[in-house]
């Protein structure tokens, strides 16, 4: 299938590649590390141990299916599309494999997107919610930009990774909702009052009580 964005893809990749300096590469690789397999593996390992310690099994299952599951699907997509990378040779090239879609970008989209879905429901203050959303989006955009600027991916590789990652997260939310929601019986429980047998309490006659009171005087 012909890529309608081929001209824009190659034009942007060439523009960045011709202007790369060693200092630029150093900064861009720092950004791209936030979507690397090593960093995602460290964060996932810490979260898995934490969820297992807390026995938050639905969150643990959701995390594993969403992040590693989505990254595995992206690898299958790369093999199916077989798109070559913008540059496979050069002083700054340190990658291999196919280009579509960007693995670093989809990894960042899945990881930070899923973390956002975990923390948003427990944040009540609007400014904290906005800060978390801004941070997650910024990290994904930085990773995507770094992959384009380094020449590892075309623009459409990065955009596709963001779109696929968002769709996969939405699908995980919809499918995993019954797991997170506790099941409830359709018939409400009715609490019946306990009926006790009436107790017989002896009551003295008024005359007897008055006689006793007079005798004490």
Per-residue pLDDT of the chain (217 residues; tens, 9 = 90+): 567 788 888 899 889 888 888 899 999 999 999 999 999 999 999 999 999 999 999 999 999 999 999 999 999 999 999 898 888 776 667 778 899 999 999 999 999 999 999 999 999 899 999 999 999 999 999 999 999 999 889 999 999 999 999 999 999 999 877 666 554 433 343 333 444 455 555 555 555 444 444 444 4
Contact 66, 125 (CB under 8 A): no
Contact 24, 149 (CB under 8 A): yes
Q: Residue 213 falls within a domain, yes or no? A: no
Handedness of CA 87, 85, 158, 111 (dihedral sign): negative
Helices (H), 55-92: 57-81
Residues with Cβ within 8 Å of residue 196, at least 6 apart in sequence: none
The tokens of 103 are what? 């693995």
Contacts of range 1-6, beta carbons closer than 8 Å, 24 or more positions apart: 3/156, 5/155, 5/156
Among 121, 170, 166, CA closest to 140:
166
d(CA 15, CA 80): 28
Other C-beta atoms within 10 Å of 106: how many? 31
Q: Residue 90 falls within a domain, yes or no? A: yes
Q: Residue 193 falls within a domain, yes or no? A: no
Q: Residue 127 falls within a domain, yes or no? A: yes
Residue ranges making up the domain that contains 146: 6-180
Instruction: State how many domains the chain has.
Output: 1
Q: Residue 185 falls within a domain, yes or no? A: no
Token pair 């409400």 is found at 188
Contact 169, 120 (CB under 8 A): no
Q: What is the pTM of this model?
A: 0.79
Q: Residue 214 falls within a domain, yes or no? A: no
Q: Residue 131 falls within a domain, yes or no? A: yes
Q: Residue 85 falls within a domain, yes or no? A: yes
Contact 58, 176 (CB under 8 A): yes
Contact 147, 164 (CB under 8 A): no
d(CA 173, CA 118): 11
**Collapsing DSSP states into helix, strand and coil, what is residue 212?**
helix
């Amino acid at each position: 299938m012909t890529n309608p964005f081929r001209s824009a893809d190659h034009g942007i990749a060439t523009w960045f590649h011709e202007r790369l300096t060693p200092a630029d590469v150093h900064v861009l690789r720092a950004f791209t590390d936030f979507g690397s397999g090593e960093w995602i593996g460290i964060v996932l390992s810490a979260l898995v141990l934490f969820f297992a310690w807390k026995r938050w099994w639905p969150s643990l299952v959701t995390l594993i299916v969403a992040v590693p599951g989505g990254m595995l699907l992206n690898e299958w997509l790369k093999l199916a599309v077989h798109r070559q990378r913008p540059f496979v040779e050069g002083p700054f090239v340190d990658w291999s494999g196919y280009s579509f879609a960007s693995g670093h970008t989809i990894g960042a989209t899945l990881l930070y997107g899923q973390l956002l879905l975990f923390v948003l429901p427990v944040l009540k203050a609007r400014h904290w919610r906005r800060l978390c959303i801004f941070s997650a989006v910024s990290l994904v955009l930085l990773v995507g930009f770094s992959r384009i600027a380094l020449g590892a991916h075309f623009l459409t590789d990065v955009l596709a990774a963001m779109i696929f990652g968002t769709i996969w997260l939405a699908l995980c939310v919809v499918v995993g909702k019954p797991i997170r929601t506790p099941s409830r019986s359709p018939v409400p429980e009715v609490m019946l009052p306990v009926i006790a047998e009436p107790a017989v309490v002896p009551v003295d006659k008024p005359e007897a009580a008055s006689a006793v009171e007079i005798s004490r005087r």
